[in-house]
Amino acid sequence: MDHPRPPLPSVPGRAALSNPPGRFKSVATERLPAEDGDEPVPRRLDTVLGIDAARSIIARNRSPDVPFSQSINPYRGCEHGCIYCYARPSHGYLGLSAGLDFETRLFYKPDAARLLERELAAPGYRCLPVTLGANTDPYQPVERELGITRALIAVLAKARHPLSIITKSALVLRDTDLLAPLAALGLVRVFVSITTLDDALKRTLEPRAASPAARLRTVSALRAAGIPVGVLVAPVIPGLTDHELEAIVAAAAGAGADRVGYILLRLPYETKALFAEWLATHVPEKAARITALLRDLRGGAVSDARFGSRMTGEGPLARLIARRFELACRRAGIEGTRQRGDAPTHFFRRPEPEGGQLGLDLAGTPANAR
């Protein structure tokens, strides 16, 4: 993000403007500037689905920056196409690009529900809250036809397992019938992520995600169904969306959210260049200032991967954003936190292992009866 970049043609319905090779590629290609009038007209790019033959489904982490240690991602890649998405570089592990490939070449886990049931049934499994949507959105558009996320929730509901969900989609309302009974036991919380209230900005920044108004309606509908719901102002982009911080907090409270959190923009690996292209194309007049503000927040770099600061930044501007957020929550009468709270685990009922054979603990009690 150090040098001005020429604007690139947009692909309709997609946020990325290029398809650079991943950082694990040994051969790289470079796009040369076209002569005037020689730029090809962007064509529509359809979504291509592939199968992720996963052998396990629960991912675990020890990061001090996230309030959960277990997560499940039904999909790799995300059709929402948010240009800033920190998960984009993960497509490099598939030999694909963090750019257009991430938005158009998706992989789903058809055996996800079966794998989850098997892991929950294992004698050594310890029940801890699990988060759906920690990497890519579990309710991205392809979920409407594939239903992988719904199948996972059905397994968790049957086992009375605590969970939280992070999404930008109104599709979560489809699963109210599964979530409401869990909510009655205090076992579920949904967080709806809202980056901006500006429809025009949303269309280029997050082209296939739900509109801001639809997300706020989702918050209201979840609250009406008795499902605890919060809002994540995420990411806060300095110089582009940070001026909306107070308005989003107020809108979240007005829609019925009971808590709200925020996360500062972070741009790992290939995401830096993709975001720079987006800035040069869609907001060229703001690009230099946004980059300078990011450097102020990241100790002179555009991004910072260090634990403790990667979510909130550091320095005077970071402290100012944190103070503004605190005051906005106070004025709106809403709890401001990044924590999702501890959910009870004593309701957990271990699924019966495949084949129906129960394991015995040392006292002779069936393991799934605990």
Distance in angstroms (rounded) separating the CA atoms of residues 138 and 242: 26
CB 239 within 8 A of CB 193: no
pLDDT, tens only, 92-123? 999 999 999 999 999 999 999 999 999 999 99
Q: What was the pLDDT predicted at 6?
A: 61
Q: What was the pLDDT predicted at 23?
A: 80
Placement of tokens 């800035």 in the chain:
279
Placement of tokens 């892991």 in the chain:
119
Classify each residue of 167-187 as buried b or exposed e, where b means 16 or more C-beta atoms within 10 Å of its C-beta.
bbbbbbbbbbebbeebbeeeb
Distance in angstroms (rounded) separating the CA atoms of residues 22 and 262: 29
Q: What was the pLDDT predicted at 117?
A: 98
Q: Is 165 helix (H, G, I), strand (E, B) or coil?
A: strand
Distance in angstroms (rounded) separating the CA atoms of residues 222 and 338: 20
Residue 266 DSSP class: -
pLDDT(362) > 60: no
Task: Provide DSSP, 19-82.
Answer: -PPPTT-SS---PPPPPTT-PPPPPP---EEEE---S---EE---TTSS-SEEE-SEES-TT--
Give yes or no for a cis peptide into 344 (omega within 30° of 0).
no
Asked which of 122-136, 169-183, 295-309 is least confident by mean pLDDT, the reply is 295-309
So where are the chain's domains? 64-332
pLDDT, tens only, 320-342? 999 999 999 999 999 997 655 57
Nearest to 214, CA basis, from 204, 15, 203? 203
What average pLDDT does this structure show over 345-353? 93
3-state helix, strand, coil in the chain (%, to 5): 35, 15, 50
pLDDT(47) > 80: yes
pLDDT, tens only, 209-246? 999 999 999 999 999 999 999 999 999 999 999 999 99
Q: What was the pLDDT predicted at 36?
A: 46
Mean pLDDT of the chain: 89
260, containing H or E segment: strand 259-264
Phi, psi of 350 (to 5 degrees): -65, 130
* The CATH fold of domain 64-332: pyruvate-formate lyase- activating enzyme (3.80.30)
Q: What was the pLDDT predicted at 44?
A: 84
Measured in residues, the chain has a length of 370
Q: What was the pLDDT predicted at 343?
A: 85
Q: What was the pLDDT predicted at 310?
A: 80
pLDDT(361) > 50: no
CB atoms within 10 A of CB 60: 11
Distance in angstroms (rounded) separating the CA atoms of residues 233 and 193: 6
